[in-house]
Structure 1
Amino acid sequence: MTGSLSSRYESEGASPGFMLWRVTNRWQAAIRAALVPFELTHVQFVLLAALTWADDPAGDTSGMTQAELAQQVRADPMMVSQVLRALQAKGHVERLPHPDDRRAVLVRVTAGGAGLARRANAAVESADEAFFGPGTSRDRSFLAHLADLDERNRGGR
Structure 2
Amino acid sequence: MFTSKYKDNSEKSTGLLFMRVYNKWHFTIKQALKELNLTHPQFVVLASLSYLSQHDNEVTQVMISKLSGIDVMTVSQILSLLEKRGFVERKEHSRDTRAKA
Band of TM-score, shorter chain: 0.7 to 0.9
Identify the structure with the greater strand proportion. 1
Shift of the 63–25 alpha-carbon distance from structure 1 to 2, 3 Å rule, reads farther
1:78 maps to: 73
1:103 maps to: 98
Percent identity over the alignment? Answer: 34
Mapped contact 2:65–2:72 kept (Cα < 8 A): yes
Any idea what SS the aligned residue of 1:102 has? coil
The alignment's TM-score, normalised by the length of structure 2, stands at 0.72
1:44 maps to: 42
The alignment's TM-score, normalised by the length of structure 1, stands at 0.50
1:54 to 52, 57, 72: 52
Mapped contact 1:50–1:73 kept (Cα < 8 A): yes
Aligned length: 96
Computed over aligned residues only, the root mean square deviation of the Cα atoms, in angstroms, reads 2.5
Q: After TM superposition, which residue ranges in structure 1, 4 or more long, deviate above 4 angstroms?
A: none
1:64 to 59, 63, 73: 59
1:28 maps to: 26
Q: Which has the higher contact order (CA 8 A, sep 6+)?
A: 1
Structure 1 segments unaligned to the other structure (5+ residues): 107-157
The structural deviation recorded for 1:48 is 1.4
